[in-house]
Amino acid sequence: MTTPGIRPLVAGNWKMNGSLGMAGTLIGDLKARLGQGALPVDLLVCPPFPYLGAVAAALGGSAISLGAQDCHAANSGAHTGDVAAPMLADLGCGYVILGHSERRTDHGESSATVAAKAKAALAAGLTAIVCVGETEAQRNAGEELKVVEKQIVESVPAEANAGNTVIAYEPVWAIGTGKTPTSADVEAMHRHIRALLKQRVTGGAEIRILYGGSVKPGNAAELMAVAEVNGALVGGASLKAEDFWGIAEGAARSAG
């Protein structure tokens, strides 16, 4: 077990992919697999906003949790196209992904913005999955630890604790590229994040730290066995039940 006492979380970030048909088939397949035998792992799916209601209905009373991919920092107001955290909770979401590198890059989100969103999510009773990670240029310059530390300091609100916050480390250069850092690199970063959380956050020793960045069934067990890796934030592989389940099985093996 990579961190004693912490149950792994395998979260699927569908990004801007899918359809109603695909969502129903995928959830049905995952539920069927769960029916054949539960894993010692928490499962989470995060579909695009338009499919949240349908996926919530499909999940029914299953053990799979529902999450969203973003929220606004305000609970209501003149914010056309945005979605508030209480709305997500009203739909049955338990989690929300915040500060993903694609949001930071495509929408210019700062860590201060991420922190404000996380604070709103926590107030709405959601668990915030706060994403951090360095670019390839920053890693090549030897700045990866400093970059991620700054993101954590500025993105994680004071209200965070082990019960309402998850950290997802996603090296930006590994997302969707097929590249992955070495196990030693992943361990060094996750140990650094753990040390920061212990210093700054209530219950920092118990907060789940996920790894994301080209996680596949073939490398999941190795990555999930790394010290202080408590699960995965999965992108493309979460769109196929067989692949997502294979990653969950890899996490289960690492959990002992």
Catalytic (active-site) positions: 100, 170
Q: What are phi and psi of 232, to 5 degrees?
A: -140, 145
**Could you tell me if 87 and 56 are in contact, meaning their C-beta atoms sit under 8 angstroms apart?**
no
- Bridge partners of 11, per DSSP, are 44, 233
Calpha distance 67→180 (Å, rounded)? 25
117: left (phi over 0), alpha (psi -120 to 50) or beta: alpha
Instruction: Check residue 147 and report its DSSP letter.
Output: H
**Could you tell me if 184 and 228 are in contact, meaning their C-beta atoms sit under 8 angstroms apart?**
no
Distances (CA, A) of 92 to 22, 53, 89, 146: 20, 8, 5, 36
Distances (CA, A) of 117 to 22, 30, 44, 140, 151: 29, 30, 20, 30, 14
Residue 247's SS3 state is helix
